[in-house]
Structure 1
């Protein structure tokens, strides 16, 4: 049996070899986050692994000897904690959307004085993600919520090069630029963009997008991942970004932010706190500026029978 229980692992009992795609924890961090091993490299005599967070958008490298394989039951227990949080956020978000729709219907039909068949057009999302697994999870949630979305997997370093062509092709109302990121204090101060793994690429992607569509309300942008350089992303032209306190963000947080914008009428402004309150991370990991919604309502709605 390849996997050892977490308690045994923390005591250093396990001697199982860590391989690609194993789910591991870092002993030096008390195995607080589940990671998937995506690469194992050598540097001189030492060996280290590149890790992607399973539920948080964090990329990390760790000494090989610091890693321990997390057994299946412990994986399920830790994953269940995240699933419970996700379900809670989903229920709160659904309540918000229901209230938005009821209010919009009331206003569109003259306070229910007359019966109208109307239809709603939520904002279209282009979701650019550096992680194909996270992209799949996000697309599933978009579908569950009812947000029209186009998902594109793209390496973070290639995003600035490809964004212009993607905007021309998909013509979205909302753009999500995310993937993996991390701050390393060994590479510089928190204010130094070079101390971040992918913040520079996210920032450059936002800048390229704003060259095509400068107005903040004509294209709403979310940018960033775990521990990203929040200030540079906002200054580059993002409406919302991570991470003000340089904390980890949940994989699904970008979905809840842009879905709120997608379902808010274009004549209304969305208060920043109203956007953040139903995310899993909150204001420590996410922030932004006051932004108009993009939902449009029309009528009449006709169903033709053959």
Structure 2
């Protein structure tokens, strides 16, 4: 399967239009049609209905695999280039919102060792950091998430990436000051399944992870916050919009007594060399 044709198929399916895909990809509409026909000939099945443009059943199945296939190809290409690249003058680091503060001290160590180094720090969501490292846009990344103690984060299959544990912090539950449970010494998640929650995946435990931890879909989202500012999350909690679970170092809250969950921070990287290797060593030492 030609990845070039696969990328074209993904854009056509997402835009539901051959002409829109042609404009985005910089091709003629005829060229896009020819590429889709070539992919269909290769697989031996129709992938798109033409009027209106929509995936067939086989096309929908291919779309389920396409993102992972293309990301894996990008990851392999980036890792080969990293291995062959001479150490440069730019270090590009990605970090999820709650792990970004850990980069500061490590970057200071690297800068002292390499005074002419240009540093670029990108704060993004967990998936964005992992994809950036896999695709070569970032040299190294830090991500965090909720997990059982000593369990790795579920980051998907984007090999050949390496993940290394950096830190684990206890979880705390954020509640409004006047909440009847705010003075408890500890709270179990099982006792909070009927509460309203703020789903803030970039700065708190995602509701999907908490539901998996308790084996219940009873955790109801009241507000979804897609930003990366902890102060905004605290304001939403204080205003009574819902509860949230964050690492103990991010804010004051009631300790989570069960199930046993921690906020885990991991270093994500491919081939390490030069300043990226220096940073990785500094983050681990300073964890």
Tell me, yes or no, whether TM beats 0.5.
no
After TM superposition, the score normalised by the length of structure 2 is 0.27
After TM superposition, the score normalised by the length of structure 1 is 0.26
Relative contact order, CA 8 A, sep 6+: which one is greater? 2
Q: Which has the larger radius of gyration?
A: 2
